[in-house]
Amino acid sequence: MKPKDIAIQPFLDSRHGLCPGCGSAIAMAHIQSIVSQALPSGKIKKIRSMVIPASCWSIGSGFDGVSFIGTNLVHTPFIAGVTVGEGISIMSKRRGVNNDEITIVWAGDGASFDIGLGLLSGAAIRNADILYVINDNQTYGNTGAQESGATPKGAKTQTSPEGKTIAQKDILEIMMAHKIPYYASIALSVTTLDDFYTKVRYAADQSGFRCLHLLSVCPPGWKCDAAKALDLAELAVQTRAFPLVEVTGGCLRLTKPKREKPIEEFLKHQKRFDGIIDSPEALLKFQKQIDNRWNYLLNLTRPA
């Protein structure tokens, strides 16, 4: 099944409160549309609920009891989303409907890399039957773009005005260490659409703890043009700033971008990186980091 065969259903009500150009908003509509169609095994699953720990979606996805995303919503405190999702999924299993419905936890990078990391680890190692989406915009978006564990080193945020000085956490390796059945990084853009659809469909079809690491372009946080969201997602992949990987059964697969570009092509559209763009030395260092990371991942793809 090709992406064009999946009609984007009107999951996202126009009253939603996400920003213009929000990468997460468009990904939400696509992911819900994909999950709600017949999956590769032929199964059709109903989304039991979208569990939302504190994030832009806490205030953007509905009001006064009305869901603007077409499915049930369960809001939770910042730290608790993944385990609340686990509790809901255990009840699906006890009622014998765990193959017919799916619980999705849609958590930001703050909720996943930082405040909720302990609970995320617990739910992952228990192999909780949920689809966990890390909606990663590399910053605390809802509070106005402060530094998170997912912020790339060197990027400026409201709490790192001179650029982040410490490393970006490696969520891929953290999740790999938990031996979960499925992990994939995904980016929504024209040239990555096939990859995006294939991974989301596969993840929705499986059971157990499945993690999708979604790169969400955040125009206010990244200080970029709102019309550039899809282009920036594509550039993140093409410059290897956001490598597309897939981990099944402990084996890592790395998708080589079709058209490779130097890192500045991704950085130059975002004011958060102007400290790097303005310094040839910093740019070189940044490129080196990207290359090292890529080679490191490439090594992981080779059988031991």
Q: Hey, what are 102's tokens?
A: 């799916």
Nearer to another protein, 211 or 244 (CB): 211
Q: Which residue has the tokens 């993140």?
A: 236
Binding site for another protein (CB under 8 A): 46, 48-49, 51, 58-59, 61-67, 70-77, 79-80, 82-95, 97, 100-101, 118-119, 121-123, 126
Residue 124 C-beta-side C-alpha neighbours within 13 Å: 25
Q: How far is the CB of 233 from another protein (least distance, A)?
A: 28
Q: How far is the CB of 47 from another protein (least distance, A)?
A: 10
DSSP for 166-180 reads SPPP-HHHHHHTTT-
Nearer to another protein, 126 or 293 (CB): 126
Nearer to another protein, 51 or 267 (CB): 51
Nearer to another protein, 44 or 284 (CB): 44
Nearer to another protein, 117 or 193 (CB): 117
* Contacts of 94 by beta carbon, 8 Å cutoff, 6+ apart: none
Q: Hey, what are 211's tokens?
A: 């993690």
From 104, 120, 105, select the one nearest 53 (Cα to Cα). 105
Q: Whole-angstrom Cα distance, residue 233 to residue 108?
A: 17
State the DSSP H helix or E strand holding residue 205, giving kind and residue range, or none if neither. Answer: helix 193-205
Q: How far is the CB of 184 from another protein (least distance, A)?
A: 24
Nearer to another protein, 48 or 199 (CB): 48
Using CA atoms of 141, 147, 150, 156 in order, give the dihedral in degrees to the nearest 10.
100
Q: How far is the CB of 136 from another protein (least distance, A)?
A: 21
Q: Hey, what are 70's tokens?
A: 């077409």
